[in-house]
Amino acid sequence: MGLRARIAHLAKTGEVPVFAVVGGGYRSAIHRLRLAEGIHIVATPRHAAVLLIAGTLTEAAAESVARVHDQMAGPRVTVGWGHPEPTVVPIGARATGDVSDIATVVRRQFHDVVIGTIPSEPPLLPDVDPVEWRGVGPYGHGGAGMTGGTPYGRPLPLRAPDRDNLELDQLPVTVGPWFAGFPPGLAMRVSLQGDVAQAVEVVTNDIVSAGPAGVFARALREPMPIRDLEMARARHHLEWMADALLIAGVDRLAVRADRLAEALGPGDVEPVERLMKAVGRSLLHPMTLRNVGVFPPDVEIAGLGPVARSSGIPDDRRTSEQGYRDIDFQPVTHRTGDAWARFSQRAAEASQAVDLARRAGNRSAFGNGEVEAPDGLHRLGEPSPADMSISMLDRVLSGTEWGDLVTIVQSLDIDMESVSVGNPAV
C-alpha cells in the first residue's frame, strides 16, 4: 500500500467536505442537507472535494461556477441536485430526489474519487493569465525586495481619501456570487480601505433563476391555507436565523435552528422560544449585532416586512385579511432597528407563526395580488422586497466595516431569485 493509498484510505472515512452553489428553489434544501450524516457544507472551495450545484441557474453563472470548481483542491468531483440540463458546468453525477438521495450520491462520488475509481475532474477554465505579468510595475511592485515576486501583473490599488482625509489605498474587490456570507447569487464590488467598505456596488442579479413557486408566490393569485403560509414563514425565519448564526460563528446554535426548522409543527412555540433564549445567552447581541445596521431615516424600508417592523413600523398586510383577523392577528414590532432587533423580530415572528398555524383551522388568506411574505410585501407586477433591498445596499453599506457589512446584508434577507432582471440598481 503506497503513501497515496494510505492517505486516501484515511480521507474516505471522514466527513465529505461539500461546497454548495445554491440556485433557485434549493436554499431550504441546503439547510436540510447540512443536517445529513457525513456531509459537511464548507464555506470555501479550498476546503471542499465535492462541488454541489443545486437548483436552477442561468447561463450567466457558468463562469463563476467554473472558477469555483477550479479553486477546489483535487481530488474533486461535481454533483448536481435538481439542476436541469443544460448544466452550467459538466456534472459527474446527479440526483433529483430528497436529502437522503443526494447525500448518498455525494458520499459515493467522494469515496470513488478519493480511492481513484473515478478520476479527479480536470480544470474547466483555460490556463491563461487574464492580466499577464509585464515586468516591474509603476510603484516598483514585481521588482526586488519586499514587493518582489510576480503578483499576477495586476495593478496596485487606487488612492482615495479615508475618513480622516488621509490619502490611502482603496482596494476594490468583487465578492460573490458564491461567497458564503452573502445570499447565493449576490456579487458586490466593495472598495475596501483597511476593513472599511467605502463604496459598494451590486454587480450581478441574473445568476439565480427562480425555482418552482412556493406557497407565498402562489398566494399572490389564489387564497392559500393560513396554516401552510404560517408554517412556511416559521421555517423560513428559522433557516434565516441559522444563516445568521453561522455567519456569527455560532455553529452549534445554527444546527439547532436548522433541526428545529426541519421538525417544526404547528403550535411548537416553546422550542422556538427556547432557541431564542439560548441565542440570548450567547454573545451574539453584545459582540456582533447591537447597533449594527441602523439605517438613516431617509432610507425607505416600508414594505420590507420584518426589517420595517423591527424599527417600529407596524406594517403588515396580514392585518387586512379576514382570515388573519378571525384568529386575532397583531403584528409584532421591535424598536431599535439594528441587526439584533431584526434577529429578535424574526424569532418572535417565527413563534407567532407556529401559534397562528395551530389556531388557523381551515381558514385561507391572500389571493388578491398582495402577499405578506417572510421577506416583506410582494405585489403582482411591482418590485419585490429583494429589489428594494438591492437598491439601497450602496447607501446603507458605504462606510461600514466588513464584518458589519456581511451582517447587514444577511439581516436584510435578500432572495436573489425574486430580484427583477431590470433592476436599475445593477
Residue ranges binding another protein (CB under 8 A): 2-4, 7, 44-46, 63-68, 70-71, 73-74, 123, 125-130, 137, 141, 147, 151-152, 154-158, 162, 164, 166, 168-180, 182, 187, 193-194
Q: Is 298 exposed, middle or buried (0-12, 13-18, 19+ CB in 10 A)?
A: exposed
Q: Which amino acid is at 287?
A: M
Render 314-330 in DSSP notation, one character per residue.
Answer: ---GGGG-HHHHHTT--
CB of 189 to another protein, least distance (A): 8
Smaller CB separation from another protein, 125 or 263? 125
- How many Cα neighbours within 13 Å face the side chain of 106? 32
CB of 125 to another protein, least distance (A): 4
Is there a contact between 408 and 304 (Cβ–Cβ < 8 Å)?
no
Smaller CB separation from another protein, 70 or 394? 70
Is there a contact between 206 and 218 (Cβ–Cβ < 8 Å)?
no
Smaller CB separation from another protein, 4 or 335? 4
- H/E segment holding residue 399: none
Cell of 314: 407596524
CB of 106 to another protein, least distance (A): 20
SS3 38: coil
CB of 174 to another protein, least distance (A): 4
The Cα 222–Cα 98 span in angstroms is 27
Smaller CB separation from another protein, 184 or 323? 184
CB of 3 to another protein, least distance (A): 5
Q: Among 133, 175, 176, 174, which Cα is nearest to 155's?
A: 133
Smaller CB separation from another protein, 180 or 255? 180
SS3 132: coil
Buried b (16+ CB within 10 A) or exposed e, 147-176: eeeeeeeeeeeeeeeeeeeeeeebeeeebb
CB of 172 to another protein, least distance (A): 6
CB of 166 to another protein, least distance (A): 7
CB of 148 to another protein, least distance (A): 11
Smaller CB separation from another protein, 146 or 381? 146
Q: Among 317, 356, 313, which Cα is nearest to 332's?
A: 313
Q: Among 173, 277, 247, 233, which Cα is nearest to 408's?
A: 247
CB of 8 to another protein, least distance (A): 10
Q: Which residues lie closer than 8 Å to 94 by C-beta, 6 or more apart?
A: 79, 80, 81, 83, 105
CB of 249 to another protein, least distance (A): 18
The Cα 175–Cα 154 span in angstroms is 17
- H/E segment holding residue 19: strand 16-22
